Structure 1
Amino acid sequence: MGLMVALPVTAGAQTVLMMAEEPGCIWCAAWNRDIGPVYDKTGEGAAAPLRRVDITDPIPGDITLARAINFTPTFVLLIDGTEVSRLEGYPGEDFFWGMLGMMLDRNDVAFELHNATQPGAQ
Structure 2
Amino acid sequence: MLLRTLTYLFLALACALPLRAEDRGVAEGVTLLMVEQIGCHYCQDWHEKIGPAYPKTAEGAFAPLHSVMISADPPEGVEYARPVLFTPTFLLLEDGTEIGRIEGHPGEDFFWGLLEMMLKDKTGFTGAEDTGTEDKRPEIN
**Normalised by the size of structure 1, how large is the TM-score?**
0.81
Give unmatched runs, 5+ long, in structure 1.
1-12
Structure with more of its chain in helix, by fraction? 2
> How many residues are matched?
107
Q: Which residue of 1 aligns with 2:138?
A: 119
Q: Which residue of 2 aligns with 1:33?
A: 48
Shift of 1:58: 1.4
Q: Greater relative contact order (Cα 8 A, min sep 6): structure 1 or 2?
A: 1
Aligned partner of 2:38 among 23, 29, 45: 23
Q: Which residue of 2 aligns with 1:97?
A: 112
**Runs ≥4 residues deviating over 3 A:** 113-116
**Normalised by the size of structure 2, how large is the TM-score?**
0.70
Larger radius of gyration: 2
Give unmatched runs, 5+ long, in structure 2.
1-27
Query: Cα deviations across residues 19-72 of structure 1 (Å, max 9, x unaligned)?
Result: 000111000000001101110000000000001011111112211111000000
- Indicate the SS of the match to 1:87: strand
> Residues 72-91 of structure 1: matches in 2 within 5 Å?
72-91=87-106
Q: Which residue of 2 aligns with 1:68?
A: 83
Q: Percent identity?
A: 48
Matched, 1:106 2:121: yes
- Tell me how large the CA RMSD over aligned residues is: 2.0
